[in-house]
Amino acid sequence: MLVNKKSFVRNSAMLLTAGMLFASCGNETPKDENVTAEDSTATETATVEVEDVSYSLPSPLQIASIFKKSGLKYKDGITSTLKDPSKYTTNLSKALNLGVYSADLSYTVLNKQNQEAMNYMKLCRQMADNLGMGSVFEQGNLSKRFEKNIGNEDSLAYIIAELQMVTDMYLDENDQQQVTSIVFAGAWIESMYVGSKVYEKGKDKSLNNKLAEQMTILGSIVNALKAQEKKDPAIGGLIADLQSVKAIYDELPSVKNRTEADDEADKEMTLTDEEVSTLTTKIEEIRTKFING
Protein backbone atom coordinates (compact mmCIF):
# COMPACT_ATOMS: atom_id res chain seq x y z
CA MET A 1 0.00 0.00 0.00
CA LEU A 2 1.43 3.40 -0.95
CA VAL A 3 0.77 6.57 0.98
CA ASN A 4 1.42 9.66 -1.13
CA LYS A 5 2.60 12.00 1.59
CA LYS A 6 5.98 13.15 2.75
CA SER A 7 5.68 12.89 6.53
CA PHE A 8 7.34 9.92 8.27
CA VAL A 9 4.95 8.51 10.86
CA ARG A 10 7.52 7.93 13.57
CA ASN A 11 5.28 6.79 16.39
CA SER A 12 2.76 4.63 14.54
CA ALA A 13 4.45 1.32 15.42
CA MET A 14 4.44 2.09 19.14
CA LEU A 15 0.85 3.31 19.21
CA LEU A 16 -0.45 0.44 17.11
CA THR A 17 1.15 -2.40 19.00
CA ALA A 18 0.57 -0.93 22.43
CA GLY A 19 -3.11 -0.34 21.71
CA MET A 20 -3.64 -3.78 20.20
CA LEU A 21 -1.96 -5.58 23.06
CA PHE A 22 -3.72 -3.73 25.85
CA ALA A 23 -7.01 -4.66 24.21
CA SER A 24 -6.06 -8.29 23.58
CA CYS A 25 -4.83 -8.83 27.12
CA GLY A 26 -7.90 -7.29 28.66
CA ASN A 27 -6.00 -4.58 30.54
CA GLU A 28 -6.41 -0.87 29.95
CA THR A 29 -2.79 0.04 30.71
CA PRO A 30 0.43 -1.66 31.78
CA LYS A 31 1.02 -1.69 35.52
CA ASP A 32 4.52 -0.20 35.46
CA GLU A 33 4.41 2.02 32.39
CA ASN A 34 2.78 5.43 32.11
CA VAL A 35 0.31 5.23 29.24
CA THR A 36 -2.31 7.79 28.30
CA ALA A 37 -5.61 7.23 26.53
CA GLU A 38 -4.03 8.74 23.42
CA ASP A 39 -1.33 6.06 23.49
CA SER A 40 -3.92 3.30 23.17
CA THR A 41 -5.30 4.65 19.90
CA ALA A 42 -3.53 3.38 16.82
CA THR A 43 -3.15 3.65 13.09
CA GLU A 44 -3.04 0.48 11.04
CA THR A 45 0.62 0.41 9.99
CA ALA A 46 4.13 1.60 10.60
CA THR A 47 5.47 3.69 7.73
CA VAL A 48 8.85 4.06 6.04
CA GLU A 49 9.37 7.08 3.79
CA VAL A 50 11.51 6.88 0.69
CA GLU A 51 11.79 10.25 -1.03
CA ASP A 52 8.18 11.35 -1.67
CA VAL A 53 6.46 8.01 -1.12
CA SER A 54 5.72 6.16 2.11
CA TYR A 55 5.47 2.38 2.28
CA SER A 56 3.27 0.73 4.88
CA LEU A 57 5.17 -1.97 6.75
CA PRO A 58 4.32 -4.10 9.77
CA SER A 59 6.26 -4.13 13.02
CA PRO A 60 7.25 -7.52 14.50
CA LEU A 61 5.04 -6.93 17.53
CA GLN A 62 2.11 -5.97 15.32
CA ILE A 63 2.23 -9.25 13.40
CA ALA A 64 2.70 -11.29 16.59
CA SER A 65 -0.29 -9.57 18.16
CA ILE A 66 -2.50 -10.19 15.12
CA PHE A 67 -1.55 -13.86 15.12
CA LYS A 68 -2.08 -14.21 18.87
CA LYS A 69 -5.57 -12.74 18.66
CA SER A 70 -6.37 -15.29 15.95
CA GLY A 71 -5.37 -18.22 18.18
CA LEU A 72 -1.58 -18.47 17.87
CA LYS A 73 -0.30 -20.67 20.71
CA TYR A 74 3.22 -21.09 22.01
CA LYS A 75 5.11 -24.00 20.51
CA ASP A 76 8.49 -24.85 21.97
CA GLY A 77 11.48 -25.12 19.69
CA ILE A 78 10.29 -23.23 16.60
CA THR A 79 11.95 -19.87 17.19
CA SER A 80 15.42 -19.19 15.84
CA THR A 81 18.33 -20.68 17.77
CA LEU A 82 20.31 -18.16 19.80
CA LYS A 83 23.60 -17.62 17.98
CA ASP A 84 26.77 -15.59 18.39
CA PRO A 85 26.02 -12.27 16.64
CA SER A 86 29.57 -12.19 15.26
CA LYS A 87 28.49 -15.00 12.94
CA TYR A 88 26.78 -12.38 10.80
CA THR A 89 29.33 -10.33 8.89
CA THR A 90 27.37 -8.35 6.29
CA ASN A 91 25.00 -5.49 7.01
CA LEU A 92 22.26 -7.41 5.21
CA SER A 93 22.62 -10.52 7.37
CA LYS A 94 22.89 -8.42 10.54
CA ALA A 95 19.70 -6.49 9.77
CA LEU A 96 17.78 -9.57 8.60
CA ASN A 97 18.56 -11.47 11.77
CA LEU A 98 17.83 -8.49 13.97
CA GLY A 99 14.39 -8.74 12.38
CA VAL A 100 14.21 -12.49 12.96
CA TYR A 101 15.13 -12.13 16.63
CA SER A 102 12.76 -9.17 17.04
CA ALA A 103 9.90 -11.39 15.85
CA ASP A 104 10.97 -14.14 18.26
CA LEU A 105 11.19 -11.58 21.08
CA SER A 106 7.61 -10.48 20.42
CA TYR A 107 6.39 -14.09 20.19
CA THR A 108 7.99 -15.07 23.50
CA VAL A 109 6.78 -11.95 25.31
CA LEU A 110 3.19 -12.44 24.17
CA ASN A 111 3.33 -16.04 25.33
CA LYS A 112 4.93 -15.22 28.70
CA GLN A 113 8.14 -17.13 28.07
CA ASN A 114 10.12 -14.83 30.32
CA GLN A 115 13.60 -16.38 30.20
CA GLU A 116 13.48 -16.77 26.43
CA ALA A 117 12.26 -13.19 26.12
CA MET A 118 15.24 -12.00 28.18
CA ASN A 119 17.58 -14.02 25.96
CA TYR A 120 16.14 -12.58 22.76
CA MET A 121 16.17 -9.04 24.15
CA LYS A 122 19.88 -9.43 24.93
CA LEU A 123 20.56 -10.84 21.47
CA CYS A 124 18.62 -8.05 19.76
CA ARG A 125 20.78 -5.53 21.59
CA GLN A 126 23.95 -7.34 20.47
CA MET A 127 22.71 -7.43 16.88
CA ALA A 128 21.95 -3.70 17.07
CA ASP A 129 25.45 -3.10 18.43
CA ASN A 130 26.84 -4.88 15.37
CA LEU A 131 24.89 -2.47 13.19
CA GLY A 132 26.26 0.52 15.11
CA MET A 133 22.98 1.47 16.76
CA GLY A 134 23.16 -0.23 20.15
CA SER A 135 22.68 3.16 21.79
CA VAL A 136 18.95 3.07 21.04
CA PHE A 137 18.53 0.48 23.79
CA GLU A 138 19.76 3.03 26.32
CA GLN A 139 17.25 5.70 25.36
CA GLY A 140 14.59 5.90 28.03
CA ASN A 141 16.39 3.11 29.94
CA LEU A 142 14.65 0.59 27.67
CA SER A 143 16.92 -2.35 28.56
CA LYS A 144 16.64 -1.77 32.30
CA ARG A 145 12.87 -1.25 32.10
CA PHE A 146 12.55 -4.50 30.18
CA GLU A 147 14.39 -6.40 32.92
CA LYS A 148 12.41 -4.65 35.66
CA ASN A 149 9.06 -5.51 34.09
CA ILE A 150 9.82 -9.11 33.13
CA GLY A 151 6.66 -11.10 33.76
CA ASN A 152 4.39 -8.11 33.08
CA GLU A 153 3.23 -8.82 29.54
CA ASP A 154 1.57 -5.46 28.91
CA SER A 155 4.57 -3.45 30.07
CA LEU A 156 7.02 -5.55 28.06
CA ALA A 157 4.89 -5.17 24.94
CA TYR A 158 4.81 -1.41 25.39
CA ILE A 159 8.59 -1.28 25.90
CA ILE A 160 9.17 -3.34 22.75
CA ALA A 161 6.88 -1.01 20.81
CA GLU A 162 8.75 2.01 22.16
CA LEU A 163 12.06 0.40 21.19
CA GLN A 164 10.69 -0.08 17.68
CA MET A 165 9.77 3.59 17.48
CA VAL A 166 13.16 4.78 18.75
CA THR A 167 14.99 2.46 16.34
CA ASP A 168 12.94 3.69 13.37
CA MET A 169 13.62 7.30 14.34
CA TYR A 170 17.35 6.64 14.66
CA LEU A 171 17.55 4.99 11.24
CA ASP A 172 15.44 7.70 9.62
CA GLU A 173 17.55 10.50 11.09
CA ASN A 174 20.72 8.76 9.89
CA ASP A 175 19.36 8.14 6.39
CA GLN A 176 19.40 4.36 6.83
CA GLN A 177 15.80 3.58 5.92
CA GLN A 178 17.02 0.55 4.00
CA VAL A 179 17.96 -1.07 7.32
CA THR A 180 14.40 -0.56 8.57
CA SER A 181 13.02 -2.34 5.52
CA ILE A 182 15.52 -5.21 5.78
CA VAL A 183 14.72 -5.69 9.47
CA PHE A 184 11.00 -5.79 8.65
CA ALA A 185 11.69 -8.38 5.95
CA GLY A 186 13.46 -10.64 8.43
CA ALA A 187 10.73 -10.16 11.01
CA TRP A 188 8.01 -10.89 8.47
CA ILE A 189 9.62 -14.13 7.32
CA GLU A 190 10.12 -15.31 10.92
CA SER A 191 6.56 -14.37 11.90
CA MET A 192 5.11 -16.22 8.93
CA TYR A 193 7.30 -19.23 9.69
CA VAL A 194 6.21 -19.35 13.33
CA GLY A 195 2.56 -18.83 12.39
CA SER A 196 2.61 -21.56 9.76
CA LYS A 197 4.34 -24.05 12.08
CA VAL A 198 1.77 -23.44 14.81
CA TYR A 199 -0.99 -23.81 12.22
CA GLU A 200 0.37 -27.19 11.16
CA LYS A 201 -0.19 -28.44 14.69
CA GLY A 202 -3.67 -27.08 15.41
CA LYS A 203 -5.20 -26.35 11.97
CA ASP A 204 -6.94 -23.26 13.40
CA LYS A 205 -9.05 -21.64 10.65
CA SER A 206 -8.65 -18.14 12.06
CA LEU A 207 -4.88 -18.48 12.00
CA ASN A 208 -5.12 -19.77 8.43
CA ASN A 209 -6.99 -16.59 7.47
CA LYS A 210 -4.36 -14.39 9.10
CA LEU A 211 -1.50 -16.16 7.32
CA ALA A 212 -3.17 -15.36 4.01
CA GLU A 213 -3.94 -11.82 5.14
CA GLN A 214 -0.30 -11.16 6.01
CA MET A 215 0.74 -12.10 2.48
CA THR A 216 -0.76 -8.77 1.35
CA ILE A 217 2.04 -6.99 3.25
CA LEU A 218 4.77 -8.61 1.19
CA GLY A 219 4.27 -6.31 -1.77
CA SER A 220 4.89 -3.23 0.39
CA ILE A 221 8.08 -4.73 1.81
CA VAL A 222 9.37 -5.52 -1.68
CA ASN A 223 8.50 -2.03 -2.96
CA ALA A 224 10.27 -0.37 -0.03
CA LEU A 225 13.36 -2.50 -0.64
CA LYS A 226 13.35 -1.74 -4.39
CA ALA A 227 13.26 1.98 -3.66
CA GLN A 228 16.39 1.67 -1.53
CA GLU A 229 18.33 -0.93 -3.50
CA LYS A 230 20.96 1.61 -4.53
CA LYS A 231 22.08 1.93 -0.89
CA ASP A 232 23.10 -1.73 -0.67
CA PRO A 233 23.56 -3.95 -3.76
CA ALA A 234 22.88 -7.04 -1.61
CA ILE A 235 19.25 -5.95 -1.33
CA GLY A 236 18.68 -7.28 -4.86
CA GLY A 237 19.08 -10.87 -3.69
CA LEU A 238 16.70 -10.28 -0.79
CA ILE A 239 14.09 -8.87 -3.17
CA ALA A 240 14.39 -11.97 -5.37
CA ASP A 241 13.92 -14.24 -2.34
CA LEU A 242 10.78 -12.41 -1.23
CA GLN A 243 9.39 -12.31 -4.76
CA SER A 244 9.82 -16.09 -4.98
CA VAL A 245 7.52 -16.45 -1.95
CA LYS A 246 4.94 -14.18 -3.56
CA ALA A 247 5.14 -16.07 -6.86
CA ILE A 248 4.27 -19.34 -5.12
CA TYR A 249 1.42 -17.73 -3.19
CA ASP A 250 -0.05 -16.13 -6.30
CA GLU A 251 -0.19 -19.53 -8.03
CA LEU A 252 -2.08 -21.29 -5.23
CA PRO A 253 -5.53 -22.36 -6.51
CA SER A 254 -7.37 -20.63 -3.66
CA VAL A 255 -5.64 -17.38 -4.58
CA LYS A 256 -6.02 -17.72 -8.35
CA ASN A 257 -9.71 -18.66 -8.04
CA ARG A 258 -10.62 -15.75 -5.79
CA THR A 259 -13.22 -13.53 -7.46
CA GLU A 260 -13.94 -9.81 -7.40
CA ALA A 261 -17.16 -10.64 -5.56
CA ASP A 262 -15.09 -12.24 -2.79
CA ASP A 263 -13.02 -9.08 -2.54
CA GLU A 264 -16.03 -6.78 -2.57
CA ALA A 265 -17.67 -8.83 0.18
CA ASP A 266 -14.41 -8.78 2.20
CA LYS A 267 -14.57 -12.56 2.32
CA GLU A 268 -11.57 -13.88 4.21
CA MET A 269 -9.05 -15.88 2.25
CA THR A 270 -8.75 -19.48 3.41
CA LEU A 271 -6.00 -21.74 2.10
CA THR A 272 -6.16 -25.52 2.01
CA ASP A 273 -3.80 -27.42 4.30
CA GLU A 274 -1.82 -28.50 1.24
CA GLU A 275 -1.49 -24.87 0.12
CA VAL A 276 -0.31 -23.78 3.56
CA SER A 277 2.26 -26.57 3.46
CA THR A 278 3.48 -25.44 0.02
CA LEU A 279 3.81 -21.86 1.21
CA THR A 280 5.47 -22.93 4.47
CA THR A 281 8.07 -24.96 2.62
CA LYS A 282 9.15 -21.92 0.63
CA ILE A 283 9.12 -19.61 3.66
CA GLU A 284 11.21 -22.12 5.61
CA GLU A 285 13.71 -22.30 2.75
CA ILE A 286 14.14 -18.51 2.75
CA ARG A 287 14.27 -18.38 6.56
CA THR A 288 17.03 -21.01 6.62
CA LYS A 289 19.00 -18.88 4.16
CA PHE A 290 18.55 -15.83 6.38
CA ILE A 291 19.57 -17.41 9.68
CA ASN A 292 22.58 -19.17 8.16
CA GLY A 293 23.94 -15.78 7.12
How many separate domains does the chain show?
1
Question: CA-based angle 219:221:50, to the nearest 5?
Answer: 115
* Residue 245 scores a pLDDT above 50: yes
Residue 140: pLDDT band with limits 50, 70, 90? confident
Domain that holds residue 126: 2-291
Q: In whole numbers, what is the pLDDT of the chain averaged over residues?
A: 82
Against a cut of 0.95, is the pTM above it?
A: no
Q: What is the mean pLDDT of residues 16-43?
A: 40
Residue 60: pLDDT band with limits 50, 70, 90? confident
pLDDT score for 283: 97
